Structure 1
């Protein structure tokens, strides 16, 4: 019973770190972070999650626990994406407004992506549009907007998150399902890591106990 409690407590620590970092990743969905910097911010947070776990509970070498945690770390990236997507969808479903906006600026990044600053009713819409209609179709050339073009978007009336194309806005039920699935898988992997650590500790104690009994 005591061993089970220790395993669950350790797994809870691992899971808490991944969940907190995933929650912090919601910042990439806001207008505070430029679209060309979201990958950088997300990657730094993702790398930081494993560094925090190592600082809390370091490991001397690669073992079973590290393998479990490595897989959990990879899954946590999926969770981070789901959280950012979910935050975006939640805000726009709650207080979003569908409008016909005009392109006032086109931004080309060094990585080849294009984003757009929009306006509606003579006022700029906070944030940038990161996709242009028609770019979701397979086996077609990508299309781009130019200054003066009009596009239908869902904008946040409070300006917290970037505007988005209506067809790119995920449904709340779909987002919730993805989040629950990612958390469940991550929790199972964290339990596996904690169990592996507990088993290794038990195996190390057995030779010591045997020597004491023999002595």
Structure 2
């Protein structure tokens, strides 16, 4: 039986207002309810290794969800980080920061990790997906064009792989393409199936 049929008696709640995550879940054929916005301070211990941060933050977002879960609810929370040289590269603060970020990624390979937490009233499961992304060398003209045209200031690493820069400047990826967009839907699909059958 297909997963969307197995989930008919459940209510998936996506605690993310990222349009990319919402689109990816919809495109998987999984019906969900978008959670209302709620406050969560996305802080993590300074000693936490960069690769563990998205797992920690997805769990933090799950724990901060303010509405009690019903007996058939499954809450989905996620956090995506870009890592270069063991350092997390967040969303750019402004245009200058976005330029500096893309210059640092130019001609190099970085890692994108998304942590996902599934939680019901009586159990939880946290997992991650990791993708290596290799950029060609970017000219300042390419960087300026991309930033002016697409304004990726809401994206970790200052780029969206599904946009122009992904078509013209990403040489290769190893791992899930959709993970780089913000939600590793292939892995999530399998984890949801195991979650409801456990």
> What TM-score comes out, normalization by structure 2 length?
0.31
Structure with the bigger percentage of strand: 2
> What TM-score comes out, normalization by structure 1 length?
0.30
Larger Rg: 1
Greater relative contact order (Cα < 8 A, sep 6+): 1
Structure with the bigger percentage of helix: 1
